[in-house]
A = this chain, B = another copy of it.
Amino acid sequence: MTYCIGMLLDQGIVMASDSRTNAGVDNISTFRKVTVFQRPRDRVFVLMAAGNLAASQAVVNLLREAIAANGTGQEERSPNLFDSATMFDAARCVGECIREVHRRDADSLQRFGLEFNVSFLLGGQIAGEPLRLFNIYPAANFIEATADTSYFQIGEFKYGKPILDRVITRQSSLEEAAKCALISMDSTIRSNLSVGPPVDLVLVRNHDLRVSHHRVIDAEDPYFRQIRNGWGDALRKAFKDLPDPDLAG
């Protein structure tokens, strides 16, 4: 399992992903789920993946190879993110790679009783465009965050959703969003064994046109520990401070 969050705010994009991959509970390992493609001052893409690891790695490889083949005279078989005119084009480009992997693998997976299942969050900016955030489904169709939407989640999203709903708006600061992403991630890690650290926290400030901040946060990270303990303590205190019900009669 996996948990990824992408938040689209007035000031920038904040994205976070866990690093746990499991094939059954007896086969747990650590794989980072974030990939950055950037050409500073021109464009930046942050891609986070959930679902079948073989599929998401294949998609990322196709995207990388297309960029590497560009200008070398080699045939470009997959569409190139660096040729995308808009973020919408970039999302279609990721979608094309998903479809290519699906064509190659889906039937074979099905013969083993497995479903083709991979999804992505794509956040970023191309010079001349605003910051944009997409949620790309296994069928390669996708939705974009609009003025009413400040975040997308993929993977094991339920445990960490209530705090996002209560706190995050488009006007939230990047610091608030990063803090909230870590609290949401912590709630998920506590409740689901298949989601685990380290956490990749990636930030793209509006108009930076590159990754502004990327931090790999493990369980021992002092700030993450402070947030985890502080949040737990604050919840217990808030709970204690609320009035008890009258259970007489």
Contacts and interface: CB of A to CB of B under 8 A. Distances in A.
Chain multiplicity (copies): 2
A92 interface: no
Contact of A159 (B158, B174, B212, B243): B158
A227 B247 contact: no
Given A223-B245, A242-B227, A249-B213, A190 B176 contact: no
Interface residues of A, number: 44
A239 interface: yes
A3 to B, nearest CB: 12
Given A166-B235, A179-B245, A213-B248, 17 more contacts: A158-B158, A162-B162, A162-B187, A165-B191, A166-B239, A167-B235, A167-B236, A179-B239, A179-B244, A180-B239, A182-B245, A183-B242, A203-B247, A226-B243, A230-B241, A230-B243, A234-B238
Interface of A: 158-159, 161-163, 165-167, 173-176, 178-180, 182-183, 187, 190-191, 203, 212-213, 223, 226-227, 230-232, 234-239, 241-249
